[in-house]
Amino acid sequence: MASNTKLKNIRKLLKKRTERSKCRFTRARVYDIDWKDVATLQKMISQQGKIYGQKRTGTRSHFQRKLKNAIKRARFMALLPYVGR
Amino acid sequence: MSTRDYEAMFILEHAAATADFEATSGIVDQILEKHGAKIDQKEKWDERKLAYEIKGQRRGTYYLTYFTAEPSAIDNINEDVQLTEAILRHMVIALDVPIAQHIETTSTERELLAEDSRKNSLGGWGGRRDRRAGSARKSEGSGGDAEAAPSADAPKADAPKAEAVAETSTPDQTASE
């Protein structure tokens, strides 16, 4: 069994790694993206209402897929527009 | 068949809802209960301008409910809701975690994301700023374990809860200002 110190160091390393990530969801270490969180979702769409790609936002693919669904749900419930801002 | 937890959002007609919210939301509750759903929580989520026109309406009142029901009842609920004129739109989502845990998690995560965007809004992602204050970021309490299941009695506001803020925020984070 690894000692407690070693486990703690590993955990610290992982924490630092996630904190250095370009993806805002990894940094915050969320489990899921809430479609009702308009504040966050608004940052991920353009002036025209299009969803930004991963290159633009730095989002990891796992979260980009969740984000896509969240935005589409929010659009359906008129929290975000389909077109325009 | 076993029951499942659901989250449902309804957009209510603004005029009717502002005039008498209890009556209008009561219509929704009636439909749910008629098909055997047990409402866990319900709240007036927001009153806002819609992103686009729905049925000629530009404003709507959002009504959020969490309930438990048999999966077979959902189709019937949808049918009844569509026939109701006061409900402009609705969406039912099945939850794979218990309701209390889901609420706790979403409010914590929203706070985490807001804090993250505050810290990183001045350009640059992480880097020196994060490394300096990195150790101060304690356990985030992202609710993988239903550690603090809040009471299901009163309708709960979907705003970040006080305990979530206390968990994540620290005095050192003023470096980002």
Contact A31, B142 (CB under 8 A): yes
Tens-place pLDDT, residues A7-57: 788 777 777 778 888 898 988 888 899 999 999 999 999 999 999 999 999
Tens-place pLDDT, residues B74-109: 999 999 999 999 999 999 999 999 999 999 999 999
Query: Domains of chain B, with CATH numbers?
Result: 4-96 (3.30.70.60), 99-141 (no CATH)
- Residue B117 has a pLDDT of 85
Choose between A52 and B160: higher pLDDT: A52
- Residue B171 has a pLDDT of 44
Model-level pTM?
0.72
Average pLDDT, chain B: 77
Percent of chain B with pLDDT over 70: 68
- Residue A20 has a pLDDT of 85
Query: CB contacts < 8 Å between A and B, how many?
Result: 90
A15-28: b (≥16 Cβ within 10 Å) or e: eeeebebebbbbbb
- Residue B153 has a pLDDT of 40
Which of the residues B12, B93, B113 would you substitute to probe the A interface, choosing the one with the greatest number of A C-beta atoms within 10 Å? Answer: B113
Give mean pLDDT, residues B166-170.
Answer: 43
- The full DSSP string for B54-110 is ETTEEEEEEEEEEEEE-HHHHHHHHHHHHH-SSEEEEEEEE-SS-HHHHHHHHHHHH
Closest CA–CA distance from residue B59 to any residue of chain A (Å): 10
Among the partner-chain residues B89, B115, B143, the one whose CB lies closest to the CB of A77 is B89
Percent of chain B with pLDDT over 90: 59
B165: pLDDT strictly greater than 90: no
Which of the residues A8, A18, A34, A76 would you substitute to probe the B interface, choosing the one with the greatest number of B C-beta atoms within 10 Å? Answer: A34
